[in-house]
Amino acid sequence: MIKTTLRILAVAAVMSAGTYGAFAAKNPIVGGAPMFASKNIVENAVNSKDHTTLVAAVKAAGLVDTLEGKGPFTVFAPTNEAFDKLPPGTVQTLLKPENKAQLVKILTCHVVAGDEMSSAIKKMVMGAGGEYDVKTVGGCVLKAMDKGGKITLTDEAGGTAHVTIADVKQSNGVIHVVDKVLLPKM
């Protein structure tokens, strides 16, 4: 009886690992948390330890309902480390209610209307001769390029972000994790 129970547990463990492995191949772990394609952008982002600053900014900007909406959206999601690269005090200043318009502008420069997987972005880049203008819902234009198989984005302020984790599928779009906050022309 004990051997049978151990075999059942072993089979269950293998099956669980196989299911998780299949899941992980489709959607990566971001910030220590599994991202579920059945959840929306906000529902997944709140679980990522790497995106606590982004989540706080989205809340302060009043964009939660939008990013929980139908979409589809492509979000270039800066990590906490990306926000830490901004000059000291910038994040705290942007989170103040009197700076909401500026915060909204910055955050919406990370959002594209549509469900743009990395393969589609790379195809657009190739079709445009190596550099493609990505128009954001915030009115910014990002320059997308393919550098050694990785997507890079140059913002209107001249800064360059690298997509570090691509194609994190969401129920209302896709997230691409980036290592820099993308800034509009100021």
Torsion of CA 160, 39, 62, 180, to 10 degrees: -10
Q: Which two tokens stand for residue 88?
A: 């000291």
Range of the domain at 165: 2-178
- Across the chain, which has 186 residues, the per-10-residue mean pLDDT values are 35 36 60 93 96 97 96 97 97 97 97 95 95 96 95 97 96 97 93
What CATH number has the domain bearing residue 101?
2.30.180.10
For residue 129, the Cα-to-chain-centroid distance in whole angstroms is 26
What angle, 0 to 180 degrees and rounded to 10, lies between the N-to-C axes of helices 52-61 and 100-108?
120
pLDDT at 154: 98
The reply to whether 66 falls in a domain is yes
DSSP state of 78: E
Regarding pTM above 0.75, the answer is yes
* Number of structural domains the chain divides into: 1
Q: Which of 148, 143, 150, 75 is nearest to 113 (CA)?
A: 75
State how far the alpha carbon of 82 is from the alpha carbons of 5, 8, 28, 85, in Å: 49, 46, 19, 5
